[in-house]
């Protein structure tokens, strides 16, 4: 990923775009075949040479063109023929995004595979579910992970759509009128590059495409943020249901030798903020003056590479984290029981309703025992068993059945098993 967004990577993509345009001009009979062949054999200039020329010109694309042309001799006059800077920069950016997109999709596939594998492993591992941070009813750790898998899959689909929207190039000139080029040149050059010609453009490709892409990346990053935050909560000392992998010789604190902190999860959460910021910049870049101003350019040079680099890294670390996550099943069971089996309250309530009691009356009876169990740290089940107003009405063995909370787990996992990770033809 770093190579794609390096100066060398950028210049290699720029020259590929220029070569596609020159070859297309040669097909149209405008550029001589020998000049096109010479340009096709040209190699990218060094970033240092481009920077040296740019120090005088104060224009990076012009500096690039001069750096290539000076090595071509007489044929150099055909290099960049008829093009404006954004024909090269925007089309090249689409190529870089295509390459970077493949890596991010690979990362998503790896993360998804890791989550599905651990979900299957913990399909029936009971864990207390929490709402508002407070014990609610039992779930399984596998179901929690299954939810993550479906969310990752949705994020992948969004990203595929956004990448497809970026699979366009433009060679339409200074204001998009083809005054110095030709629609046929654009078609032929884009075909060589594996892109579609933009239906219309100004001096640039419209930035709603880039905003959609950055937003799709931000949603993926925010999902990873959510998952990592859950791991951090479950790793708290008071909960201690999971732990990050901790390597031999690793130190959790410079001062406290006992520390095993969820630092990778925290890193994922922090980087998600960066990617969400990039999405805001992408949205701000949509509104430009007339056929183009340059306000989007400086910001885009930062946020597009940074968003891809961050998400690529986040996915790699997240897959590592899930694969090596220490899951403490016994602690999950102890935490499940720590709230005195109050999670059975809804089952008692529903059984009373089924017995013919009015719902509000049933609620009052159950709540009375539930509050006592909480305040006095008593077993809710025993209080119910000793409450004649409740016990005489319902089958307590059926009500206090933990298996009731997992009886439909297989239904959800059947849906998860149908979630096949496919290699989609993002770029034909």
Catalytic residue ranges? 132, 253
DSSP type of residue 203: S
Q: How far apart are CA 14 and CA 96, in angstroms?
A: 10
For residue 127, the surrounding DSSP H or E stretch is strand 126-131
Where do we find the tokens 């390096």?
6
Return the structure tokens found at 179. Answer: 């005054």
Query: Would you call 12 helix, strand, or coil by DSSP?
Result: helix
Residues in the chain, overall count = 428
CB 50 within 8 A of CB 60: yes
Q: How far apart are CA 194 and CA 16, in angstroms?
A: 12
- Per DSSP, helices labelled H in 168-262 are 183-193, 208-234
CA neighbor of 119 nearest in space, from 424, 357, 419, 353: 419
Strand duo 168-169 + 134-140: pairing: unpaired
DSSP type of residue 168: E
Q: How far apart are CA 410 and CA 183, in angstroms?
A: 56
Q: How far apart are CA 136 and CA 343, in angstroms?
A: 6
Return the structure tokens found at 56. Answer: 């005088």
Dihedral pair phi/psi, residue 11, rounded to 5°? -65, -35
Return the structure tokens found at 172. Answer: 């339409």
Contacts of 16 (CB under 8 A, 6+ apart): 92, 95, 193
Residue 139's DSSP bridge partners are 127
Query: Would you call 105 helix, strand, or coil by DSSP?
Result: helix
CA neighbor of 205 nearest in space, from 321, 288, 144: 288
Q: How far apart are CA 400 and CA 385, in angstroms?
A: 10
């Amino acid at each position: 990923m770093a190579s794609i967004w390096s100066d060398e990577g950028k210049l290699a993509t720029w020259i590929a775009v220029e070569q596609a345009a020159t070859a297309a001009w040669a097909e149209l009979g405008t550029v001589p075949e020998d000049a096109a062949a010479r340009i096709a054999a040209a190699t990218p200039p060094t970033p240092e040479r481009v920077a040296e020329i740019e120090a005088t010109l104060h224009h990076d694309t012009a500096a690039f063109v001069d750096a290539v042309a000076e090595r071509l001799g007489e044929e150099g006059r055909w290099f960049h023929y008829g093009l404006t800077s954004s024909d090269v920069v925007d089309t090249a950016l689409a190529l870089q995004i295509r390459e970077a997109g493949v890596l991010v999709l690979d990362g998503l596939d790896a993360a998804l595979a890791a989550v599905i594998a651990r979900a299957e492993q913990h399909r029936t591992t009971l864990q207390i579910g929490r709402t508002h941070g407070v014990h609610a009813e039992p779930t399984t750790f596998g179901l929690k992970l299954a939810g993550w898998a479906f969310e990752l899959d949705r994020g992948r689909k969004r990203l595929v759509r956004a990448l497809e929207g970026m699979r366009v190039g433009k060679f339409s000139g200074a204001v998009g009128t083809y005054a110095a080029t030709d629609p046929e040149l654009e078609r032929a050059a884009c075909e060589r590059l594996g892109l579609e010609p933009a239906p219309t453009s100004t001096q640039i490709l419209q930035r709603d495409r880039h905003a959609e892409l950055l937003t799709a990346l931000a949603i993926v990053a925010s999902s990873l943020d959510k998952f990592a935050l859950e791991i951090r909560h479950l790793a708290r000392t008071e909960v201690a249901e999971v732990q990050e992998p901790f390597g031999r010789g690793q130190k959790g604190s410079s001062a406290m030798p006992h520390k095993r902190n969820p630092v990778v999860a925290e890193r994922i959460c922090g980087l998600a903020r960066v990617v969400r910021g990039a999405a805001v910049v992408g949205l701000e870049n949509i509104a430009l003056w007339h056929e183009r101003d340059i306000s989007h350019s400086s910001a885009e040079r930062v946020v597009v590479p940074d968003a891809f680099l961050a998400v690529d890294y986040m996915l790699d670390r997240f897959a590592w984290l899930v694969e090596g996550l220490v899951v403490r099943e016994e602690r999950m069971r102890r935490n499940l029981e720590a709230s005195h089996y109050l999670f059975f309250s809804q089952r008692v309530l529903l059984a009373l309703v089924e017995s013919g009691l009015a719902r509000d009356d049933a609620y009052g009876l159950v709540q009375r025992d539930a509050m006592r169990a909480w305040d006095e740290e008593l077993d809710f089940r025993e209080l119910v068993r000793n409450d004649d107003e409740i016990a005489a009405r319902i089958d307590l063995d059926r009500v206090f059945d933990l298996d009731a909370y997992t009886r439909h787990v297989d239904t959800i996992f059947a849906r998860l098993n149908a979630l096949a990770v496919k290699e989609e033809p993002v770029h034909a």
